């Protein structure tokens, strides 16, 4: 964006100057015409719209105006008391209050205790937390530590299983030998790496604070923090581990404790721990233990609190010099371009603001990225553990699979491209949030617009989700899951061959042998059909649609009035079609495998279970298949439908045909990425209609007179719940790409 603006300025300047240069020599500009300079300035202003000033941001972002510009992570919760008051005054809040009072409680009973007030006070006005320079690097060390636990943990697990199988009853008798082997084997590198991570880790400046406008309450809260620190660290002063400290920032006096690593290191000696440093030496090794002591001796940790203006502020860092506040907003984080995303929302009632630098996001990433990192580390440890096992037989096939898993997982991980993140949340007739940047969504293709958007435009649509899938990611993920399945099977097969005298294990072996002999081949055939031909035949775009125009099946015990008048949700999964012939092939394979599975089940139960034959029908190029289930009808039956353009799996043939008609119309939507909508108005109407129907036909619907009396007795309470539901409007989530960065919008609107 900045490059574009830089290029626009000379281009626009040229456009303005060119006509001016055509003036005749000596011709002056008329009084009604602006000067060339003014025209250039006006043109530039139209393109380069200035953001809000640091002072304007500071007025809405609370304590952020005191934090230095090098903050790498910041998040806040604002106006909590107002948000809670708004909930209390809502119909849902009033209903909750009434229910509490009916149970003999009040909000004051629950929230009015001194302990609860103290816990809630930080979030009432403005709560924040922030990491200073080095926060991303520290987060990276934390992620490294977690992934190392996954790697060494799986490696050690296989070693333990192998040792139990190899040594039998002697395993428990010689436990020390086992521990020694564990430390010399799968955990051999862990102490050195753990000590190395500890040595490299430096605590960045961490700030946490909250605004309490009432001076008396603020002082009391600060006193509570002081008492807590004194209880935690006061007694360690005599041991030389800690010392009380005081320092001043912005006229505020911070008090707290400094934990001295040198004091802790000095206590690690033969007198306190044992000869040769006892178990610590056994676990870490003598050299690693000395390195640990050396690293510990160089470290300090400061914990201190102060009243800074209207805020109680907590600081944690390696030393007090890291605690930095600024006097002017222009020197603070609110003047930084990295928080400019809030500019369009400063007139809103803010609830939360957050930002994370690129290094912080690269370290922690998204939940999906972090989970993938843990899986990769775990499978790596599993592979090395299996390679070194001696009681599992020939494990070459397992290690080959695990090696593939590791490579496939790394390929998936490489598709995550985290960037800096900004997020703002506000309330205005509901809660709304916008997130800028952050981790990408590799499973989503942002470059294509949706062709199924209109499926979610109907009046009775309760839920609609529409996504353009990234084919490359989908293919890699599918291969990854296949390899996980194959690896799980081979490992389970190895484990089932072990000689373990345990009733539960014997039952496990019997179940696995049954699966392996009777079901494996056909279940594998099903998976191959679904992951191969079906996946290959479907296109990149998919949607889930739920409406409320369904009907109940005509089965016994359902009152006729409900069958005739009640409406129920209809669900459909819709996908575009890429190759219809592959879909046909997938059905043939699924049908053959299912027939064989039914034969196997029949042989086990002694009952022959014939494969049902589907019925088919056609409408507007859509062929639908369903089974003749008793009580089913066109608006209540599991149906699979296919045309040249769409594949639909639905609970209603009518619904599938209606969706096909909509999909055939020209699409005008320009939505891309991933979109979801939950319509509470439709849910409320469905619930209200059911309530009215039951109320009108209570005699026919209720199974007994007592059930009818219970319904009538609670009718008023049910109506209150329905009235409270009416306040909610809809929930939408839209993830797409704008100006080259991921953009996420979340909106929970209410009346």
pLDDT, tens only, 612-640: 677 889 999 999 988 888 888 999 999 99
Residue 390 lies in a domain: no
Q: Are 324 and 132 in contact (CB under 8 A)?
A: yes
Residue 18 has pLDDT above 60, yes or no: no
Whole-prediction pTM value? 0.85
Q: Are 54 and 332 in contact (CB under 8 A)?
A: yes
Q: When comparing pLDDT for 591 and 6, which is higher? A: 591
DSSP designation for 277: G
Residue 486 lies in a domain: no
Residue 13 has pLDDT above 70, yes or no: no
Q: What band does 498 get if pLDDT is binned at 50, 70 and 90? A: confident
Give the contacts of 509 (CB within 8 A, at least 6 positions apart): 496
Percent of residues, the chain, with pLDDT higher than 90: 51
Please tell me whether residues 547 and 684 are part of one structural domain. Answer: yes
Q: Are 336 and 409 in contact (CB under 8 A)?
A: no
Instruction: Say which residue the tokens 């009916």 belong to.
Output: 102
Distances from the Cα of 178 to the Cα of 56, 160, 171, angstroms: 65, 8, 7
Q: When comparing pLDDT for 449 and 530, which is higher? A: 449
Nearest to 130 by CA among 207, 198, 43, 187: 207
Please tell me whether residues 15 and 152 are part of one structural domain. Answer: no
Residue 53 has pLDDT above 90, yes or no: yes
Residue 685 has pLDDT above 90, yes or no: yes
Residue 692 has pLDDT above 90, yes or no: yes
Rounded Cα distance between 585 and 748, Å, is 43
Please tell me whether residues 613 and 746 are part of one structural domain. Answer: yes
Of 347, 368, 389, the one marking the end of a domain is 368
Please tell me whether residues 363 and 452 are part of one structural domain. Answer: no
Residue 240 has pLDDT above 60, yes or no: yes
Nearest to 61 by CA among 429, 340, 431: 340
Beta strands 622-626 and 639-642 are antiparallel
Q: What band does 3 get if pLDDT is binned at 50, 70 and 90? A: very low
DSSP designation for 316: E
Please tell me whether residues 298 and 206 are part of one structural domain. Answer: yes
Rounded Cα distance between 305 and 312, Å, is 7
Residue 97 lies in a domain: no
Helices 190-200 and 135-167 sit at what angle, rounded to 10 degrees? 170
Q: Are 325 and 217 in contact (CB under 8 A)?
A: no
Averaged confidence pLDDT in the chain: 85
Q: Are 440 and 420 in contact (CB under 8 A)?
A: no
- Per the structure, the complete domain to which residue 205 belongs is given by 134-323+359-368
Supply 474's token pair.
Answer: 């989908």
DSSP state string for 358-375 = HHHHHHH--HHHHHHHHH
In this prediction, residue 576 carries a pLDDT of: 95
DSSP element (H, E) containing 387? helix 367-388
Supply 290's token pair.
Answer: 């000395």
Residue 80 lies in a domain: no
Work out the average pLDDT over 418-428.
93
Q: How far apart are the first and last CA of the chain?
A: 37
The beta strand positions in 453-588, using DSSP E, are 461-468, 538-550, 568-577
Q: When comparing pLDDT for 654 and 604, which is higher? A: 654
In this prediction, residue 740 carries a pLDDT of: 87
Which tens digit of pLDDT belongs to each residue from 54-87? 999 999 999 999 999 999 999 999 998 888 888 8
Q: Are 462 and 568 in contact (CB under 8 A)?
A: no
Residue 621 lies in a domain: yes
Please tell me whether residues 187 and 312 are part of one structural domain. Answer: yes
Please tell me whether residues 167 and 30 are part of one structural domain. Answer: no
DSSP state string for 58-93 = HHHSGGGGGSBTT-SEEEEEE-HHHHHHHHHHSHHH
Residue count of the chain:
751
In this prediction, residue 333 carries a pLDDT of: 96
Rounded Cα distance between 43 and 579, Å, is 52
In this prediction, residue 45 carries a pLDDT of: 40
Nearest to 562 by CA among 706, 715, 700: 700
Nearest to 132 by CA among 86, 201, 46, 73: 73
Rounded Cα distance between 294 and 328, Å, is 41
Instruction: Say which residue the tokens 């015990």 belong to.
Output: 557
Supply 283's token pair.
Answer: 């676990």
In this prediction, residue 611 carries a pLDDT of: 65
Residue 421 burial class via C-beta count within 10 angstroms: exposed 0-12, middle 13-18, buried 19 and up: buried
- Backbone φ and ψ for 332, nearest 5 degrees, come out as -100, 180
- In the three-class reduction of DSSP (H, G, I as helix; E, B as strand; rest coil), residue 553 is classed as coil
In this prediction, residue 365 carries a pLDDT of: 61
- In the three-class reduction of DSSP (H, G, I as helix; E, B as strand; rest coil), residue 319 is classed as coil
Residue 602 lies in a domain: yes
Which tens digit of pLDDT belongs to each residue from 90-145? 888 888 888 887 777 776 666 666 667 777 778 889 999 999 999 999 999 998 99
Q: Report the DSSP beta bridge partners of residue 88.
A: none
Work out the average pLDDT over 291-320.
95
Rounded Cα distance between 28 and 321, Å, is 63
Residue 263 lies in a domain: yes
Q: Are 119 and 73 in contact (CB under 8 A)?
A: no
Q: Are 167 and 181 in contact (CB under 8 A)?
A: no
Residue 717 has pLDDT above 60, yes or no: yes
Which tens digit of pLDDT belongs to each residue from 337-383? 999 999 999 999 999 999 999 888 887 665 568 888 899 999 999 99
Rounded Cα distance between 411 and 388, Å, is 26
In this prediction, residue 711 carries a pLDDT of: 87
Residue 666 has pLDDT above 90, yes or no: no
Please tell me whether residues 364 and 454 are part of one structural domain. Answer: no
Nearest to 735 by CA among 339, 366, 351, 457: 366
Q: Are 284 and 292 in contact (CB under 8 A)?
A: yes
Q: Are 292 and 195 in contact (CB under 8 A)?
A: yes
- In the three-class reduction of DSSP (H, G, I as helix; E, B as strand; rest coil), residue 337 is classed as helix
Which tens digit of pLDDT belongs to each residue from 565-618? 999 999 999 999 999 998 888 888 777 777 777 777 777 767 776 766 778 899
Q: What band does 89 get if pLDDT is binned at 50, 70 and 90? A: confident
Rounded Cα distance between 673 and 453, Å, is 11
Residue 38 lies in a domain: yes
Q: What band does 675 get if pLDDT is binned at 50, 70 and 90? A: very high
Residue 19 has pLDDT above 90, yes or no: no
Work out the average pLDDT over 30-39.
46
Please tell me whether residues 680 and 556 are part of one structural domain. Answer: yes
Which tens digit of pLDDT belongs to each residue from 158-169? 888 888 777 765
Nearest to 255 by CA among 222, 300, 211, 231: 222
Q: Are 195 and 288 in contact (CB under 8 A)?
A: yes
Residue 17 has pLDDT above 60, yes or no: no
Residue 27 has pLDDT above 50, yes or no: no
Supply 367's token pair.
Answer: 């939940």
Nearest to 621 by CA among 591, 645, 586: 645
Q: Which of 270-284, 307-321, 386-400, 520-534 has the highest mean pLDDT?
A: 307-321
In this prediction, residue 126 carries a pLDDT of: 94
Work out the average pLDDT over 243-252.
93
In degrees, to the nearest 5, what angle opens at C-alpha 486 toward C-alphas 484 and 492? 100
Beta strands 639-642 and 741-750 are unpaired
Of 14, 31, 50, the one marking the end of a domain is 50
Instruction: Say which residue the tokens 């109506």 belong to.
Output: 719
Please tell me whether residues 666 and 545 are part of one structural domain. Answer: yes
Please tell me whether residues 154 and 280 are part of one structural domain. Answer: yes
Work out the average pLDDT over 204-227.
92
Rounded Cα distance between 443 and 56, Å, is 39
Helices 705-713 and 715-725 sit at what angle, rounded to 10 degrees? 50
Please tell me whether residues 35 and 138 are part of one structural domain. Answer: no
Which tens digit of pLDDT belongs to each residue from 348-361? 999 999 999 988 88
Distances from the Cα of 152 to the Cα of 155, 180, 374, 595, angstroms: 5, 15, 11, 45
Which tens digit of pLDDT belongs to each residue from 455-481? 998 889 999 999 999 999 999 999 999
State how many domains the chain has.
Answer: 3
- In the three-class reduction of DSSP (H, G, I as helix; E, B as strand; rest coil), residue 731 is classed as strand
DSSP state string for 602-666 = HHHHT---PPPPPEEEEETTEEEEE---TT-BTTBS-EEEE-SSEEEEES-HHHHHHHHHHHHSP
Of 368, 397, 428, the one marking the end of a domain is 368
Which tens digit of pLDDT belongs to each residue from 159-210? 888 887 777 655 556 667 777 788 888 988 899 999 999 999 999 999 999 9
């Amino acid at each position: 964006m900045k490059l574009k603006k830089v290029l626009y300025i000379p281009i626009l300047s040229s456009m303005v100057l060119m006509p001016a240069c055509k003036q005749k020599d000596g011709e002056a500009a008329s009084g009604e015409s602006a000067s060339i300079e003014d025209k250039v300035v006006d043109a530039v202003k139209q393109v380069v719209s200035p953001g809000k000033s640091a002072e304007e941001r500071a007025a809405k972002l609370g304590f952020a105006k005191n934090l230095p510009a090098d903050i790498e992570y910041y998040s806040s919760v604002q106006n909590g008391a107002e948000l809670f008051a708004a909930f209390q005054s809502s119909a849902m809040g009033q209903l909750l209050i009434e229910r509490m009072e009916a149970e003999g409680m009040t909000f004051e009973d629950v929230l009015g205790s001194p302990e609860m007030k103290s816990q809630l006070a930080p979030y009432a006005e403005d709560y924040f937390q922030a990491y200073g320079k080095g926060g991303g690097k520290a987060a990276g060390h934390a992620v490294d530590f977690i992934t190392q636990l996954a790697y060494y943990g799986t490696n050690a697990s296989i070693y333990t299983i192998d040792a139990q199988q190899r040594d039998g009853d002697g395993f428990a008798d010689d436990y020390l030998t086992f521990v020694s082997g564990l430390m010399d084997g799968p955990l051999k590198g862990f102490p050195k790496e753990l000590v190395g991570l500890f040595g490299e880790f430096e605590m960045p400046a961490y700030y946490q604070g909250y605004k309490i406008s009432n001076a008396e309450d603020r002082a009391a809260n600060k006193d509570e923090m002081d008492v807590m620190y004194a209880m935690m660290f006061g007694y360690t002063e005599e041991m030389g581990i800690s010392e009380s400290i005081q320092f001043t920032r912005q006229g505020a006096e911070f008090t707290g404790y400094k934990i001295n690593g040198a004091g802790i290191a000095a206590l690690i000696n033969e007198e306190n721990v044992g000869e040769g440093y006892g178990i610590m030496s056994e676990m870490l090794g003598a050299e690693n233990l000395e390195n640990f002591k050396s690293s510990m001796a160089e470290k300090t940790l400061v914990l201190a609190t102060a009243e800074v203006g209207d805020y109680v502020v907590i600081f944690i860092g390696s030393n007090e010099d890291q605690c930095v506040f600024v006097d002017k907003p222009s020197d603070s984080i609110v003047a930084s371009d990295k928080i400019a995303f809030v500019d369009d929302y400063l007139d809103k009632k803010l609830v939360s603001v957050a930002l994370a630098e690129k290094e912080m996001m690269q370290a922690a990433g998204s939940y999906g990225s972090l989970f993938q990192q843990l899986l990769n580390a775990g499978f790596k440890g599993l592979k090395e553990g299996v390679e070194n096992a001696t009681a599992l037989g020939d494990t070459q096939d397992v290690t080959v699979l695990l090696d593939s898993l590791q490579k496939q997982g790394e390929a998936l991980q490489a598709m995550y491209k985290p960037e800096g993140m900004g997020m703002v949340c506000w309330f205005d007739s509901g809660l709304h949030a916008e997130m800028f940047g952050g981790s990408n969504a590799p499973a989503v293709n942002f470059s294509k617009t949706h062709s199924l958007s209109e499926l979610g435009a109907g009046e009775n649509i309760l839920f609609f989700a529409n996504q353009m899938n990234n084919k490359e990611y989908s293919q890699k993920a599918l291969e990854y899951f296949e390899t996980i399945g194959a690896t799980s099977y081979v490992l389970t097969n190895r484990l089932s061959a072990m000689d373990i005298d345990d009733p539960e294990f014997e039952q496990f072996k019997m179940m696995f042998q049954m699966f392996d002999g009777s079901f494996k081949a056909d279940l594998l055939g099903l998976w191959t059909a679904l992951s191969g031909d079906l996946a290959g035949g479907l296109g990149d775009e998919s949607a889930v649609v739920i409406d409320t125009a369904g009907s109940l099946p005509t089965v016994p015990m359902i009152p006729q009035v409900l069958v005739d008048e009640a409406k129920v949700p209809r669900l459909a999964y819709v996908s575009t079609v890429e190759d219809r012939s592959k879909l046909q092939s997938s059905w043939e394979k699924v049908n053959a495998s299912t027939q064989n599975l039914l034969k196997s089940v029949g042989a086990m139960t002694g009952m022959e279970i014939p494969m049902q034959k589907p019925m088919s029908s056609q409408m507007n190029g859509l062929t639908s298949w369903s089974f003749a289930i008793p009580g089913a009808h066109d608006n209540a039956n599991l149906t699979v439908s296919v045309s040249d353009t769409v594949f639909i799996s639905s609970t209603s043939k009518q619904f599938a045909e209606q969706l096909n008609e909509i999909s055939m119309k020209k699409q005008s939507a320009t939505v891309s990425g991933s979109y979801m909508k939950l319509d509470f108005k439709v849910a409320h109407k469905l619930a209200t209609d059911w309530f009215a129907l039951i109320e009108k036909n209570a005699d026919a619907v209720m199974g007994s007179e007592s059930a009818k009396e219970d319904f009538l007795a609670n009718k008023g309470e049910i109506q209150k719940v329905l009235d409270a539901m009416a306040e909610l409007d809809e929930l939408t989530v839209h993830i797409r790409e704008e100006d080259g960065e991921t953009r996420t919008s979340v909106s929970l609107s209410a009346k």
